[in-house]
Amino acid sequence: MNRVSFNTDLCKGCGLCVGACPRHIVALNNAVLNAKGYHPAHVTDMAQCIACAMCATMCPDVVITVEKGSEK
Protein backbone atom coordinates (compact mmCIF):
# COMPACT_ATOMS: atom_id res chain seq x y z
CA MET A 1 0.00 0.00 0.00
CA ASN A 2 1.17 3.52 -0.77
CA ARG A 3 1.76 5.87 2.12
CA VAL A 4 1.81 9.65 2.44
CA SER A 5 2.98 11.32 5.61
CA PHE A 6 2.99 14.97 6.61
CA ASN A 7 5.20 16.79 9.10
CA THR A 8 2.16 18.46 10.62
CA ASP A 9 4.23 20.72 12.88
CA LEU A 10 5.78 22.41 9.84
CA CYS A 11 2.68 22.51 7.59
CA LYS A 12 1.35 26.04 7.17
CA GLY A 13 -1.98 24.94 5.67
CA CYS A 14 -1.47 26.73 2.35
CA GLY A 15 -3.58 24.13 0.49
CA LEU A 16 -1.34 23.78 -2.57
CA CYS A 17 -1.19 20.02 -2.02
CA VAL A 18 -4.99 19.86 -1.84
CA GLY A 19 -5.35 21.35 -5.32
CA ALA A 20 -2.55 19.20 -6.75
CA CYS A 21 -3.99 15.80 -5.81
CA PRO A 22 -5.56 14.13 -8.87
CA ARG A 23 -7.56 11.75 -6.64
CA HIS A 24 -8.90 14.58 -4.42
CA ILE A 25 -7.92 12.74 -1.23
CA VAL A 26 -5.72 15.43 0.35
CA ALA A 27 -7.51 17.94 2.55
CA LEU A 28 -6.82 20.39 5.33
CA ASN A 29 -7.70 18.89 8.69
CA ASN A 30 -10.04 21.46 10.23
CA ALA A 31 -10.24 19.45 13.46
CA VAL A 32 -6.52 19.89 14.21
CA LEU A 33 -4.31 22.90 14.84
CA ASN A 34 -0.54 22.49 14.75
CA ALA A 35 1.95 24.31 16.99
CA LYS A 36 1.96 27.29 14.63
CA GLY A 37 -1.84 27.59 14.68
CA TYR A 38 -2.50 26.22 11.19
CA HIS A 39 -4.79 23.43 10.02
CA PRO A 40 -2.34 20.87 8.56
CA ALA A 41 -3.00 18.75 5.50
CA HIS A 42 -3.76 15.05 5.65
CA VAL A 43 -4.92 12.21 3.40
CA THR A 44 -8.59 11.32 3.76
CA ASP A 45 -8.41 7.87 2.12
CA MET A 46 -4.95 6.33 1.94
CA ALA A 47 -6.26 3.31 -0.02
CA GLN A 48 -7.03 5.64 -2.95
CA CYS A 49 -3.50 7.10 -3.09
CA ILE A 50 -1.60 6.31 -6.31
CA ALA A 51 1.74 7.68 -4.99
CA CYS A 52 2.04 10.19 -7.81
CA ALA A 53 3.77 12.63 -5.42
CA MET A 54 2.05 15.66 -6.91
CA CYS A 55 1.22 16.82 -3.39
CA ALA A 56 4.88 16.61 -2.33
CA THR A 57 6.02 18.35 -5.50
CA MET A 58 3.71 21.31 -4.83
CA CYS A 59 4.60 21.69 -1.14
CA PRO A 60 6.76 24.82 -0.71
CA ASP A 61 7.88 23.71 2.76
CA VAL A 62 8.77 20.09 1.88
CA VAL A 63 6.62 18.60 4.65
CA ILE A 64 5.20 15.69 2.60
CA THR A 65 6.79 12.27 2.17
CA VAL A 66 5.37 9.80 -0.36
CA GLU A 67 6.26 6.11 -0.20
CA LYS A 68 5.19 3.77 -2.97
CA GLY A 69 4.20 0.36 -1.69
CA SER A 70 4.78 -2.90 -3.48
CA GLU A 71 1.98 -4.36 -5.59
CA LYS A 72 1.25 -8.00 -4.81
Tell me which amino acid residue 21 is. Answer: C
Tell me which amino acid residue 19 is. Answer: G
Q: Whole domain around residue 30: which residue ranges? A: 3-67
In a domain, 12, yes or no: yes
In a domain, 72, yes or no: no
Strands (E), 1-72: 3-6, 26-28, 41-43, 64-67
- Global pTM reads 0.90
Domain count, the chain: 1
In a domain, 58, yes or no: yes
In a domain, 37, yes or no: yes
pLDDT of the chain, 72 residues: tens digit per residue: 999 999 999 999 999 999 999 999 999 999 999 999 999 999 999 999 999 999 999 999 999 999 998 765
Question: What is the CATH number for 57?
Answer: 3.30.70.20
Report the candidate in 21, 15, 8 with the shortest Cα–Cα distance to residue 48. Answer: 21
| Helices marked H in 1-72 | 16-20, 54-58
